[in-house]
């Protein structure tokens, strides 16, 4: 199943998503990749664009040297472009950009300029196409995500609690909220595939309380189901204590400390998954090189907690954790949207 071979069904899947992105005959489209990109996805993107009658071209960047003290995974902030102005210009003029870089352009420094030029960006997450095929987006998912994003944009408070001991209070006033359902058809916008989640970047000092990461929760930076509980204390956005024994606590403490950067301990974003196709057990079904874990971020009913950069709070760092937390109850301005890990029928 994991042979690096072009399959017609995968071209079909790419065509379906690109068509939802309003790609039509004669459209110019850029395929951005780097030398270490998953070449199977790069080739599938090209073939799908050609099948739709578009006029694709490739922008291939050398994968940059890692200048950080530790390996970097799943940041959503590709460093492949390296602020090279001609590349930014070419992508902005392309109209449609298929992003096949390893980390993706979601939080890359060049992305605002590309979007401002009128391009729309589809980040094809660094997953094996078998997972992408399974996670095709649809209109029902888009409707659900839009409804959740609308609620959070107008919210003032979110609380998160669990039987394991989580008790978080989150001030949502002025938070920047993004909903992603898996495609984008409007100039100046970005989406990623797979999609099906909503996240909010809160203003400084907004997150306080206790977050308990229990057995079976997922650390996606390490691509690992937790085997022992961890208790995180959060004060004005910052993780001030990590309590717990075993390898999970040791790994988290060591990775955060290695950055030598206080901002690595801060909250990046909070949100939850809305995709009923996304499978919790997917992490155990693929070798680590075959997935980026975007599907796990979108699992319906998970509380997605993230540490790292938050430009809306004036914080920047390359250190990053994305942690889907199961079994929580999430309440937004008094409305319970997730009950003990189960997505309620609030958003349709």
The string of pLDDT tens digits covering residues 157-180 is: 999 999 999 999 999 999 999 999
pLDDT band at 2 (very low <50, low <70, confident <90, very high): low
Residue 260 has pLDDT above 70, yes or no: yes
What CATH number did the domain enclosing 46 receive? 3.40.50.980
Q: What tens digit of pLDDT does each residue of 268-327 get? A: 999 999 999 999 999 999 988 899 999 999 999 999 999 998 988 988 888 899 999 999
Mean pLDDT of 217-224: 96
147 and 41 in a single domain? The answer is no
Encoded tokens for 321: 């954790």
3 inside domain? no
Residue 3 has pLDDT above 80, yes or no: no
101 and 145 in a single domain? The answer is no
Q: What tens digit of pLDDT does each residue of 19-69 get? A: 999 999 999 999 999 999 999 999 999 999 999 999 999 999 999 999 998
Distance CA 254, CA 171 (A): 29
Distances in whole angstroms, Cα of residue 14 to Cα of each of 41, 101, 211, 280: 9, 16, 38, 23
The confidence score (pLDDT) of residue 230 equals 96
Average pLDDT value over all residues in the chain: 96
Helix ranges, the chain (H): 8-20, 39-51, 85-94, 111-116, 129-134, 139-153, 246-258, 294-297
112 and 155 in a single domain? The answer is no
124 and 219 in a single domain? The answer is no
pLDDT band at 203 (very low <50, low <70, confident <90, very high): very high
161 and 291 in a single domain? The answer is yes
Count of C-beta atoms within a 10 Å radius of residue 268: 28
306 and 337 in a single domain? The answer is yes
92 inside domain? yes
pLDDT band at 1 (very low <50, low <70, confident <90, very high): low
Bridging pattern class, strands 157-162 and 328-332? antiparallel
183 inside domain? no
Sequence-ordered strand ranges (E) for the chain? 28-34, 55-61, 96-99, 120-124, 157-162, 167-171, 176-180, 190-193, 197-201, 207-213, 218-219, 224-225, 230-235, 238-243, 267-273, 303-307, 321-325, 328-332, 335-339, 342-343
151 and 93 in a single domain? The answer is no
Among residues 167, 242, 255, which one has the least CA distance to residue 211?
A: 167
Distances in whole angstroms, Cα of residue 112 to Cα of each of 21, 89, 189: 19, 12, 9
Distances in whole angstroms, Cα of residue 170 to Cα of each of 179, 226, 283, 347: 18, 24, 29, 21
184 inside domain? no
* Number of folded domains that form the chain: 2
59 inside domain? yes
Whole-model pTM: value is: 0.94
81, 107, 133 - which closes a domain? 133
235 and 102 in a single domain? The answer is no
Answer whether 28's CB lies under 8 Å from 95's CB.
Answer: yes
Count of C-beta atoms within a 10 Å radius of residue 50: 14
Neighbour order of strands in the sheet with 342-343? 238-243, 230-235, 207-213, 167-171, 157-162, 328-332, 335-339, 342-343
145 and 128 in a single domain? The answer is no
225 and 263 in a single domain? The answer is yes
Among residues 75, 67, 9, 6, which one has the least CA distance to residue 38?
A: 6
233 and 338 in a single domain? The answer is yes
Answer whether 252's CB lies under 8 Å from 264's CB.
Answer: no
209 phi and psi angles, rounded to 5 deg: 125, -150
Which residue range(s) make up the domain with 84?
8-133
107 and 141 in a single domain? The answer is no
95 inside domain? yes
The confidence score (pLDDT) of residue 317 equals 87
């Amino acid at each position: 199943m994991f042979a690096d071979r072009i399959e017609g069904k995968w071209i079909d899947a790419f065509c379906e998503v690109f068509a939802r992105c309003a790609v039509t005959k004669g459209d110019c489209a850029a395929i951005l990749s780097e030398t270490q990109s998953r070449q199977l996805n790069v080739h599938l993107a090209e073939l799908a664009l050609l099948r739709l009658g578009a006029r694709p071209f490739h922008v291939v960047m050398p994968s940059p040297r890692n200048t950080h003290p530790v390996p970097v995974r799943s940041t959503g902030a590709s460093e492949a472009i390296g602020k090279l102005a001609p590349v930014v210009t070419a992508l902005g003029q392309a109209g449609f950009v298929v992003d096949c870089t390893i980390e993706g352009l979601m939080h890359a420094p060049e992305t605002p300029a590309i979007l401002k030029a009128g391009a729309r960006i589809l980040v094809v997450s660094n997953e094996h196409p078998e997972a992408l095929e399974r996670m095709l987006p649809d209109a029902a998912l888009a409707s659900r995500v839009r409804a959740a994003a609308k609620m959070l944009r107008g919210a003032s408070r979110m609380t998160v609690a669990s039987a394991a001991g989580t008790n978080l209070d989150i001030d949502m006033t002025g938070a920047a909220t993004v909903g992603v359902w898996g495609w984008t058809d409007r100039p100046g916008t970005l989406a990623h595939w797979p999609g099906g989640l909503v996240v909010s970047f809160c203003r400084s000092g907004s997150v306080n309380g206790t977050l308990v990461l229990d057995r079976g929760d997922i650390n996606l930076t390490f691509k690992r189901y937790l085997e022992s509980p961890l208790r995180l204390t959060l004060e004005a956005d910052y993780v001030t204590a990590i309590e717990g024994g075993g390898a999970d606590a040791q790994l988290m403490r060591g990775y955060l400390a290695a950055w030598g950067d206080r901002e690595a301990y801060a909250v990046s974003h909070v949100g939850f998954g809305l995709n009923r196709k996304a499978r919790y057990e997917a992490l155990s079904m693929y070798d680590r090189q075959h997935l980026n874990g975007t599907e796990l971020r979108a699992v319906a009913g998970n509380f997605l907690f993230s540490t790292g950069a938050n430009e809306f709070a004036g914080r920047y760092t390359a250190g990053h954790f994305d942690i889907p937390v199961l079994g929580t109850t999430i309440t937004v301005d008094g409305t319970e949207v997730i009950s003990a890990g189960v997505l309620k029928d609030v958003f349709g």
